[in-house]
Every structure is written in C-alpha cells, then in structure tokens.
Structure 1
Amino acid sequence: MTAPFQDRVNTALVAIALAGLGVGLALSLTGRAWAADAVWIAGVLPVLAALLVEIVRSLRAGEVGLDIVAALSMTAALVFGETLAAAVVALMYSGGTFLETFAEGRARREMSALLARVPRTATRHRNGALDEVPLEEIEPGDLLLIRQGDVAPVDGTLASARAVLDLSALTGESLPARLEREAEVMSGATNAGEAFDLRATRRAADSTYAGIVRLVEAAQKSKAPMARLADRYSLAFLVVTVVLATAAWWFTGDPIRAVAVLVVATPCPLILAVPVALVAGLSRAAHFGVLIKGAKPLEALARINTLILDKTGTLTDGRPKIVSIERHGTLDENEVLYYAAALDQASKHPIAQAIVADARTRGMNLPVPEDLVETAGEGVAGTVDGRRVVVGGIGFVTRQAAPPDWDRHIREPGSVIVAVSVDGVLAGHLALADALREGTADLLAGLRENGIERILLATGDRRAVAEAVTEGLGLDAVRSDLSPDQKVLLVLSERKNGPVMMVGDGVNDAPALAAADVGVAMGARGAAASAEAADVVLLVDHLNRLLPGLEVARGARRIAVESVVAGIGLSIAGMIAAAFGYLTPVQGALLQEVIDVAVILNALRALKITPRAEPSAPNAKGQGQ
C-alpha cells in the first residue's frame, strides 16, 4: 500500500469515526437511542475492519502490537452493547494512527533526483556531424562530445589531449582532476574545463553512475528496520491487559467488567504520547535547520552511538581556499595574489575562481586582463597592467619562467600549488587546500559528550590527504580510498558496535546514507541524491547543526518515554478500578481520555527543548545567520 493511499485511508477513518460519534451523541440526546446505537456501530465498523487488516499484516511480519488491544476493546464493546464506548475508542485509535502517519510523512521517496542528474541524451560524433541521441543508444566505441559543465553520461576513455574533471560527486575529491589522453573517465563526472571527446567503453546501464543508483536501492531494501518505541512496550502491556480483563470476567461472571478493562486500556498512551512527542521533536529540530524525515528516523537518531563522516563537503568546506602565499622575487604576497587573481578572472576553473574570490574578499580592485590564452587544465597567460603574467601549474609556469630552487618547496598533502610568473620571472606561488570546517574539533567533542562513542572518517580521497586534514581531531579510525560500495560495507561492519549514523553530501555517499541506521545529508550544497537517500537533511551548510539535532532527538525520545511510563501507570490503575467494578465502559473511556490529554500535554514539552550548544537559528529561507 502506497504512502499517499495510506494517508487518505487514515484521514477517511478519522472523519468517519468523528462523524459517527458526533451524530450518535446528537441522536442520543434527542431520545432516539436505537438510532444512536446504529450510527455508533456504523462509525466503528470501518475502523475495526481496517484495524483487523493491519493486525493480519503485522502478524505475518512477525510483529505483535497494541492494535490487538484496540481490536479486542472495540469488538467486546460492540458484542456486549457498549456502542458509545466502542465509538470513543474508534475515534481515539484512528486519531492516534492518523497522527503517527503524519509524523512519519513520506520518509522514503524514489531516487528520482539521482536519476534526474544523469543526462537523458548525449552528443555523439557520427559521419562528420554531431547528433543528440538518447542515452540508451550509446554503444561501446561511440565518440561523444562532453561540453563544459556537462556530466559524463557513460564510462569511457579520454579521446582528447587533456581534460579537467570535477569528481567530487563520485569520489569525494574536492579538487578537480587533470586527465591526459586515454585516461579513464567515470560516468557522473562533471567537465570543469574545456570541451573534450570521450570514447564510450560501457553502455549507460553498465556504467559507474548507474551502479551507484542500484547500490542506493539495494541498501534501502536491506536496511534493518528500527522498531517503533511503542512496539517495544506493546507485548507486555497486551499481556497485562488480557490477564486483567479475563480475571475480572472469570471471578465476577460479568463480561461488562472485562469490556471496561479493555476500554480503559485503549487508546493507551503508547498510541498517542509517542507520536505527539516525536512530531514535536521533528518540529523543534526543523527550527535549528535539521529536517528529520519522520518519527522512526528521529527515534533512531536518539539511539546512535557510532558516527561515520565523509570528508569533502562534510568535514571540510568542499571548496579550495588559499592557505598560504609564498613570494620568490621582488613582489610581496599581496602583489602575487593581485596578478594571479586579475588574470584568473578569465578562467572558469574552480581553482581560478577560488583565487579571485580570495582577492575580492581582501578588497582588491582587479583590472581587466588582456591578450588572454588559456591552456585547458594547465594555466592562463595574458597581460595585466601592461605586464606579462602566467598563472597555473608548476610545470606550465616554469616552462615560461626561470625557476628558483623548487626542491626546497614541500607540497603538503591535499594541497594544490599555483605558480605565478610576472614578466618572465617566477614571482611566487599560492597553496590551496580544502580546509576543515570551522569549529569541527569542538563539534566532535560535543557529539562525544552526547553519547557518540565512535567517530570515523570515510572518504574516497587518498590516505595522505585524509590523515593530513583530520590530524588532531582524535578520530577512532580513518578509512580512505573508498568506493561507494566499500562505504556501505564499512557502515554494515560498524553495526556490531551499535546503531550507525553516516553523514555525507555527494552522490558517492548516497548508498552508505541509505544503508546506515540514520543517514544525514548536507542539504544546502550537497547532491540531491544524498538528500533523497538520507533520513536527516541539514538545511543549512553547517555541520554544527548536527549537535542540536541529536540533542533534540534524544530529548524528544526521553519525553516520549516519560509520557508512556506515566500514562501506562495511570492506565493500569484505571484498569484495576474497572476490574473491581468502579468504572463502567463509558466512564473508563472518559477516564482514559483524561489520561490521554495529560500525556499529550506532557509530550508537547518536546517543542520547548533547548540544546546546550544552540547555533544561530535559520532564517525564513533556511539559511544560517
């Protein structure tokens, strides 16, 4: 049964039960008792029928829940003529089910966003012309044109001299890769440089990107279900209810006492308090920019004790930044940056854009460069303020300028060196790297204080880069050079230590997010595929939102448990009173309503949860302050 259809069914059942109870009460007040009984029965039967279907489905799945108590109470009330009590129970049960369905929403959706990113057509060379053909028609050996900004539709080899590819969505590597002729190109990679030709080696269905889609779907199907909080208490409560009802009938010979016991037991706080507290927790988490896709993920989030983090775009900012500028001639550091940024205005390369952004952040007024010549993937040459400037890779620049002793310059892991020459002399170089997000160490410490026992890094990046970036963070393990399926295996292997949360932002993270007990996606700049596969989406581009989200989830679950314990205690007291004849079925139903209202009010305290480490609240558009 699909989620939209189930939503409509639950809404209809609430409406029927409410209408039946209301119309029946009106008829009863006008003295038409027989008509009131008929209307109450008519309002109860659809709810009872839907309930029996759900019980059969649950029993086939090996689950025993409180639905049985509700079915017993409604059935017994109808059999022994307590139609008003049955109508009250039907309304409260259908209302509780509706509320829980609302809390969960559509926690799982189709992977439409992931598939939408794959181009539906490709530009193919054929008989000296370019044809736009459907993806399904591409065969191994076909020569394709990949324009700037295009996504490679199939796996292949580079047929042009060189290409610059953004692989961040596939491997997690934040810095563009420079490939030479005959190098392998993975489908899903984005062309970050000039247009190039790609020789297809696989069909679209057999390529890397399609494989990631299948991994996500398989991981979602194999994901271990997390039992609802209510279900974990239901069996014991069911036994207590049946024993009390049977004993009351057995020792007194009055079946009405058994009916009263069953009515007092349903709808119990397990049906109402839990979804209310969790819905309130979902609302409160959203206040801090944390979208949790339903009550089950919130419950699971509250029980997490192992955290696996992706690196690029998650633990790090995902965008290269200048970490140092070194001069080699007479120009100072600002002048080196000035000439490099002025020339790089003409390039769309991500590294060039980062250099320009840094210069503008420092308030530099950059002139318009002239006589531009860009060599894709290597560098740019041109004139700035009448001086000849060359910016690019070390080899590209030093071929045109007399280099100093480069042996003394150490290249740090994970960094990119951009050399700058002015008038044929090497003026200096800039080092760019993908740095840790600000406050990462404090965030990880806060997570450990909130019960996270193990924190690991899982990245497709090289080990030297991963270790350099995470030095001093005190991680329990660093796993590098991981493919998407290896990330899934890591998630599954860590389950031996308890429930696992995975945080990522790229397409390559989507299968692991789907496989984890709780998958968390960086939603502001992350791939749509990871947001679809995840249970939790951080709506602002700040990993520090994870901490208040965790605190809210644990606070909401704690309040739900408190409401359940208090409510069950009061319900059992009412059941005992009913067993001894102090409560009629209708009185029992009304008493249970009072208990329900009390536990619901207590559950709503989750709306007031205030995390200890509260970040600035998101504004109306969901962006951080």
Structure 2
Amino acid sequence: MVSTRPAREPAKPTRGGRWDRLGGVRGAALLTGTFVPLVVGGAAWLAGLATVADAAWAAGTVIAMIPAVWWVISALRRGRVGVDLIAVLSLAGTLWVHEYLAGALIAVMLSGGHALDAAAERRAARDLRALLERAPRTARRRCGETVQLVDLDEIAVGDILVIATGEVVPTDGRITSAVAVLDESALTGEPLQVERRAGEPVRSGVIDVGAMFEMRATATADESTYAGIVRMAREAGAATAPTVRLADRYAAWFLPLTLAVAAIAYWISGSLVRAVAVLVVATPCPLLLAAPVAIVSGLSRASRMGVVMRDGGALENLGRATTLVMDKTGTVTAGRPVVTEVAAAPGADPARLLRLAASIDQFSPHVLAQAIVTEALARGLELDVATAVSEQAGSGVTGEVGGHRVRVGKLPEDAATPEWARPVLNRARLDSAAVAWITVDDKPLGAVLLRDPLRRDAPRTLRRLREAGFDRLVMLTGDRPEPAREVATVLGLDEVCAEQSPGDKVAAVRRESAGPVTVMVGDGINDAPALAAATVGVAMGARGSTASSEAADIVLTTDRLDRLADAMDIARWSRRIAVQSATVGMALSLLAMVVAAAGRLPPAAGALLQEAIDVAVILNALRALRGNPAARPGLPPDTEDLLRRFAAEHETLRDTIASLRTVADRVADRSEDAPAALEALYRFLVEDLLPHERAEETQLYPALAGPLGGSEATATMSRAHGEIQRLTTRIGTHLELVHARGGLDPDQIDDLLACLYGLHAVLRLHFVQEEENYFALATDERR
C-alpha cells in the first residue's frame, strides 16, 4: 500500500490541459477588463470626448496584450506557433497606427475566445487522490501474544499482520492462517471473490471479505503492488504529451498566409495602416471562438447523455480515434455475477430450492450470495425467516429454514458429488461458471450456476463503434484465457490479452498508442494507470472506482457501454461542425484580407466586419448542440414500452429454457421421472413460450419495422419463431407416443434428444439476438 507521506503534486496538469490559460476568476477578470474599456470608450466617443475614448480603448488593448504575449511565449517554448501570434501582432499594430477602436474590439474577441477555450478545457486534478484516501494509515502487527497498531512505514518484511473483515490488505504477503476470502476486484477487475489458503500469496489493495486472517509481509508498504499502481498512474499521465488542438493545427498554415498578405499590402502601398487592417480582419476569431463554441456545445450535449468530458481536447481526440482498448469485467461484461441456472436433483423443485438458498443467503454479504438473493426476488419468490444462520469463510452459509437444515456454498470435503450433478458440473466448467451447492438436511439437492454475463448492449455498441471509425478493437483482462477468448469471439474483437496485470495493461496501451489516437475504457482501480496512459481514457464511472474516474478524460456516469458510442457520434459531429465553422470563417477572413490589402477596408471597419464573421460562425457552431440530424431517431414511447415488456418476459422465461438441457439429460439417462419432466416441459412450451413468441411476432416486430427501416430487419427473427414452433410440435408428437406406449421407447431417444438440445440452442441464440438487436435499443429504467 502507499505511504502516509503526502504525494508530490505534478508541476502542471498532464496531457490536453493548457496550464498557462486564464480560466475561472482570472478569465472572467480579463474579459471584464477588455469589455469595460470598450463600453467606456464608446460612451466617451458619443459624448464628444475623443481623447478619453482613445485612452479607454488603448487601455483595453494593453490589458489583452499582456496575457496574449505570455501565451505566445509559452507556445514558442513548447515549439509551437499558435493562433495567438496573429492576435498579438494585430493588437500591437492597432496601437502603432492609433486605431484604438479596432484594438479594443480585437481585445474583447480575444479575451472572449480564451474564456470559452478555458471553459472547455478546465478539468479535475488527476492526482488519483482516491487511491491515497482508500489506503489504510495503520496496520495491526502481531508481536508474540499481543497485537499492536502501527504506522504503515513501520512494517518490515517478515512481520505478521492481522487483517480484519472489511479491511484493505496493507502490503504484499503470504497467508499464514487457514483460509482468507478476498475481493481482488481492485487489482484484477474480476467480481468473483477468491479464497487464498495458508502459504498462498496475497497482494496489497485487496479487501478481506471473510473472517479475520493473518499474513506474513513480503514487502514494505512503499514496495507493494498497490503503491506501484499509484506510481504507474502518475508516471503514465506525466509521460503523455499534450495534444495539438484543432485551432493550433489550422494556425500552422493560416499564420504565414496572413503575414504574407500583410507584407504584400505594405510592400505595394507603403502604408502600415493597410498592413494592420489585414492583421485585424485576419485575427483568427473563427478559430478562437467558433471551434471552442462547437466543442463546448458538444460537451454540453454529451453531459446530458451521461458522458462527462474533462476538456475539449478529449472530445476532439475522441472524434478522430481509430483504436479502442477495453477492459473486460465491468466494461463489456456486467461486472457482477448473475444466476444462469438452478439445477435440481430428480424430484426436487428448483424454485423451492432457490427460495431456501436465498432465505439463508440474505444474511451474507458475499457477492455470490447477493446474486442468489437478487435472482429469487426477481422471480417473485417470498423469502422465509432463517434462524441459526452462520457463515464459514470460504465454505458457505448454513441456517434453519422451515425445520430444515439448509447449507449454501461448497460441498463438504468428505461429500461425494451426486450422480445427477455431473452434467451440471460439466456445464459449469464449459461456461466458466461458479457453482453454489444447495444442501437440505445434509443431502445435496440443487446447484446454482453463476457467471458474469456479457452486457446486453455490448455487441451492438461495438458494431456502432466500428461504424463510427474504430478499426481496431482490443480487450485486456486479468481473467483467464478461456472466458476472455469466448467474449472476444462473440464481440468480434481484433485481439485479446488475458491474465494482464496493471503493468501489462499500461504496456499494451502504450504499444497501441504508438500509432493512431487510442481510447482505453475501464472501470476498476487496476485500470487507472492504463486510462492515464491512453490518448483518451474512458471510465465506466457509475460503478467504477473513483481512481479510474480521476485518471480518465471521459467518465460515463451511467452504467451503459452504449453511451461510449453516443459520445463518439457527438464527438465526430461536434468536430465536424468546429472544422466547418473554422474553415468557413477563415475563408471569409481571407476574402476580407484581400479587400483590406487593396485599401478598401480600414482597421475599425475591418474589426466590425470581423465581428459579423464571428457571429455567423458562432451561430453555425451552435448547431453542435442539436446533434447530427442524420443520426438514428429515438424510439416512440409505445415501442420502448413493448421492448421493456418483452425483455421482462425474457427474464421470466430464461430459467425454464435452461431446464431443456436438464430434461434432455434425464431422457438420455432414461430416468424414471423423464416422462413427467417431459410433460411439464411441453406444457411450459405450449402455455408460456409459444404465446410469448406469437406476441412478439404480431405486436413487437411490426412496431420495430418503422424505426429499423422495414420488416426485413426482423425477418430472421421471424424465421427463428418458425423453427421454435416446429421443434415444439415435434416434441409434442414424441410425448403422444410416450402416452400411447406407456413410456419412452429406445427408438425415440435419439430424435427426442436432438429436438430438446436443438430447441435449447435455438432459444438461447434467439433470445440473445433479440436482446442485443432490439431490447438494447430501449432505455433501461432500472439503470
């Protein structure tokens, strides 16, 4: 863990921030200091006090020149020639030729433009204070039979530390007690808690979510894993160079062109006034005003959609990004385990077993226990009052419910796996799912399978991101290769890197950032260094850590990945409007420069003309507030209601669909209760599933035809409905033969299994396709 000594603050903010710009109170003071002299000078001129008017206007010009000269010097120190140089030359020129009104007008435009720029670029400090605040300041060290509270700096290698429930492990070490149950999500991002037994290593930054345990320190606090993460985040941010903003890129060619036209005007006419007039109309207010207005408008629109961008540079960079690097857990997956199946022994009721398990687990803070309780409540099960509840870390929860002794968790070490559960364990292994056993009166009657599911909107969102301009999608995860490859296959990613430490993630992001603009998306503390290393860091801030949000350029305040695609659309549209406004404004300025070089436009009139150009380009830039009119319109409220209704029905039907495999397993084993199970399944198919599918066909799909551009968008789903009906009818025919023959004939087995397994596969694929393609379009009111 990190030391209690205060962290050294960086000398200046990291990439994208203009530390020498006047923002906040000083920016407002500059704007006031230039606007007031303009107004006072105007009043004096109307009163016939020409000398006072000139003095006021000259004062406003000088006030603007002081910071402008500093901005130019700062840019030159960084090897850049920005848009401010033209403004400084025009301000100085107006004073030199006594065109004080023109100078005052330019001063107001300059200060106003930089006030907008500062408003677009202000960002929160990225010193990762959350990491430091999360760190414990003390630790419990065992000395013989006593336990002392000591400062972290006093921990030495070999010390025995005592970690209580809920505490953060202060340094790296090895477990010395029997077992430790840990939440390692801060480091790995994985939501499932893990067990570490005596002799196994434990890293700093993880949380003890089980009973108290002891460990032997193998590193000091300053040399621990978590302290290294903090240092990497700081170094990654400091090593990332500031980006070149849109206005400066245009200034690279607009500046020499302006100076050339001014020089030609002076060479032809010998008049400094003409040269100054050229500089006045060339003052890059389309860059100083229009581009920031469009960017600020984009920032405002994004914030209304739950996307908070730290500055305009983040939006500009997002608008031209081509590589997306993302974490898995909490980013493309939900980040919390959910129940995927409740398997029961022959003759046992899955719903009753789930109710018993949830009645016990409601007293446990374990992440798997909470998932079981959530699933039971979602199914409308009424939980019982459990008594004599106790929890053994790493083993499970035990209690009394309705006169029965119920245990949820691991099977006792001396207990044999029941025969009926072998297919369940195979499925768990293949699906990378966790298993929680349900034991009633010392007899294992059920098993709950849990896994971290893919976000419903993830496939559709990644397709949208590819359409928006990302041509390379990479996933980094601390998870095992098998589930990582499965997710990558479903999402169509270009590359996946599994078992990645925070340092590995930083190295991978830096490799990708060596080329085009790279975006990194993550949600955990372990992602903070990688977010800081990317060109644009995006934090899933709704459930993500404060540290990842502090290290990011963009924070998604809602727990929805599709908001990143929305942000990409907004960024590209805003940047397009900014470029359009800047180029049109500069073209008009160029035309005015030619007129001024010909002596037809004096400086004061040129300044007023420049104001008119500014108004025109600002009004165009404000179009960014409305968003791209070509973007897909939202769904009608009635259609969204239908989507939510059928999405809720999916949740209700999902568990019974999983029972297709269970019934097939019983048919394959020729269990005595196979005909009864087949009968119950067929009744569900006819009375619940098929009516649901028919309602989708007649109500939902016609409602989606308009928003999706025609009935062809749902044609493949309609074909799936036909296949579901066909397989259900075939199962019904087999059931009639069972009734007629008084049981299952051997010659039915193969075809019946093909129907059951086939229907299970079709339904799973069909449900996933509907959820990704249609249900993800609706706003989830639960989020």
> Which residue does the alignment assign to 2:198?
181
Q: Supply the AA of the counterpart residue of 2:190.
A: E
User: How far apart are residue 360 of structure 1 and its match?
Assistant: 1.2
Q: What pairs up with 1:100-499 in 2 under 5 angstroms? A: 100-106=117-123, 108-126=125-143, 128-394=145-411, 396=412, 399-400=414-415, 403-404=418-419, 407-408=422-423, 409-410=425-426, 411-499=429-517
> Which residue does the alignment assign to 2:632?
612
Any idea what SS the aligned residue of 1:313 has? coil
User: How far apart are residue 108 of structure 1 and its match?
Assistant: 4.3
| In 1: Cα distance, 2:157 partner to 2:457 partner | 48
CA contact (8 A) 1:524 1:541 kept: yes
CA contact (8 A) 2:22 2:115 kept: no
| In 1: Cα distance, 2:387 partner to 2:782 partner | 39
Q: Supply the AA of the counterpart residue of 2:408.
A: V
CA contact (8 A) 2:38 2:105 kept: yes
Distance 1:614 1:130, change over 3 A: farther
Greater RCO (CA < 8 Å, at least 6 residues apart)? 1
Give per-residue Cα distances to partners, 1:414-455, cap 9 Å, x unaligned: 311111121222202111000001121111111111111111
Q: CA RMSD in A?
A: 2.1
> Which residue does the alignment assign to 1:50?
67
TM-score (norm 1): 0.95
Distance 1:338 1:564, change over 3 A: same
User: How far apart are residue 134 of structure 1 and its match?
Assistant: 2.5
Q: Which has the higher helix share?
A: 2
CA contact (8 A) 1:106 1:293 kept: yes
Q: Supply the AA of the counterpart residue of 1:517.
A: T
> Which residue does the alignment assign to 2:525?
507
Greater CA drift, 587-596 or 571-580: 571-580
Greater CA drift, 424-433 or 4-13: 4-13
User: How far apart are residue 169 of structure 1 and its match?
Assistant: 1.4
Give per-residue Cα distances to partners, 1:496-531, cap 9 Å, x unaligned: 552111110001101111111111001111010000
Distance 1:568 1:6, change over 3 A: closer
Q: Supply the AA of the counterpart residue of 1:164.
A: V
Any idea what SS the aligned residue of 1:471 has? helix
Distance 1:594 1:168, change over 3 A: same
> Which residue does the alignment assign to 1:539?
557
Give per-residue Cα distances to partners, 1:532-577, cap 9 Å, x unaligned: 0000000001111111111001000000011011101110111111
CA contact (8 A) 1:21 1:87 kept: yes
CA contact (8 A) 1:92 1:267 kept: no
User: How far apart are residue 192 of structure 1 and its match?
Assistant: 1.6
> Which residue does the alignment assign to 1:95?
112
Greater CA drift, 341-350 or 575-584: 341-350
| In 2: Cα distance, 1:68 partner to 1:348 partner | 62
User: How far apart are residue 125 of structure 1 and its match?
Assistant: 2.9
| In 1: Cα distance, 2:283 partner to 2:292 partner | 16
Corresponding residue to 2:582 among 545, 553, 564: 564
Any idea what SS the aligned residue of 1:472 has? helix
User: How far apart are residue 264 of structure 1 and its match?
Assistant: 0.6
TM-score (norm 2): 0.76
Give per-residue Cα distances to partners, 1:389-432, cap 9 Å, x unaligned: 222124x3x63577336554312353111111212222021110
Q: Supply the AA of the counterpart residue of 1:348.
A: P
Give unpaired runs (5+ residues) of structure 2.
Answer: 1-10, 13-18, 641-779
Distance 1:325 1:471, change over 3 A: farther
Greater CA drift, 239-248 or 463-472: 463-472
| In 2: Cα distance, 1:197 partner to 1:245 partner | 77
Distance 1:402 1:447, change over 3 A: closer
Any idea what SS the aligned residue of 1:312 has? coil
CA contact (8 A) 2:21 2:118 kept: no
Distance 1:390 1:148, change over 3 A: same
Give per-residue Cα distances to partners, 1:141-194, cap 9 Å, x unaligned: 232222222111111111221011111110122211111012111111011211
> Which residue does the alignment assign to 1:577?
595
Any idea what SS the aligned residue of 1:412 has? helix
Detail structure 1 runs of 4+ shifted over 6 Å in the superposition: none
Distance 1:5 1:134, change over 3 A: farther
Percent of pairs identical after alignment?
46
CA contact (8 A) 2:113 2:285 kept: no
CA contact (8 A) 1:156 1:200 kept: yes
Give per-residue Cα distances to partners, 1:111-150, cap 9 Å, x unaligned: 1112111112223334544433332222222322222221
| In 2: Cα distance, 1:29 partner to 1:80 partner | 22
| In 2: Cα distance, 1:449 partner to 1:104 partner | 28
Any idea what SS the aligned residue of 2:22 has? helix
> Which residue does the alignment assign to 2:720?
none
